[in-house]
Each structure stands twice: as structure tokens, then as C-alpha cells.
Amino acid sequence: MTASTHTITLLTRAGCGSCAVAWEQLVPLCEEFGIPLESVDVDEAAAVDPELRAEYGDRLPVVLLDGREHSYWEVDEVRLRSDLTI
């Protein structure tokens, strides 16, 4: 899988300061690798997918790489960079 086929999603919640910090860390990294960065508010998404908030709501922010949990509470940039180059 090349870097351009990866997806990164940041699970967040309104008013989450750590989520804002994680977003600011991910923006330049995603630009560098040419990867789109998506953000999903677990509280807003709960109407459609209540399991999302149940699974991740107490560990925000959560970084998903290709739909799988990669890190939570903070961005593991070293590991993420490594995983993006595989």
C-alpha cells in the first residue's frame, strides 16, 4: 500500500483542546504525504453510529489509520510516519 492510498481520520469532540492540538499536528503531516485528513465528531456521529462514541468517546482524540485505531490521547508521529512509508 502506498502512502497516497492511506486515509487518516481524527475522532474528536467539540471543545476538546487535545483534539485541536492533534489536528494541528496532523495537518502538515498529511500534506507532506498527500493524504486527506478527515475529522469526525463522535458526539455528532452518535445519531448514525452510536457504537463509535461508545468505543472511542473516553479516549479522544483518536487517530485512525485506514479505519483502524492507530493512537489515542496524542499523535504518535514517529510511528505514524513509519506506518505511512510501508
Q: Is the per-residue pLDDT at 3 higher than 50?
A: no
Output the pLDDT for position 61: 97
Q: Distances in Å between the alpha carbon of 13 and those of 16, 36, 73, 82, 83?
A: 6, 20, 12, 27, 25
Could you tell me which residues are beta bridge partners of residue 8?
37, 65
The pLDDT tens digits for 35-79 are 999 999 999 998 899 898 899 989 999 999 999 999 999 999 999
* Other CB atoms within 10 Å distance of the CB of residue 31: 11
CA pair distance 67, 60, nearest whole angstrom? 15
Output the pLDDT for position 68: 95
Structural domain containing residue 47:
3-84
Residue 50: CATH number of its domain: 3.40.30.10
Output the pLDDT for position 4: 59
**Domains identified in the chain, total number:** 1
This prediction's pTM: 0.90
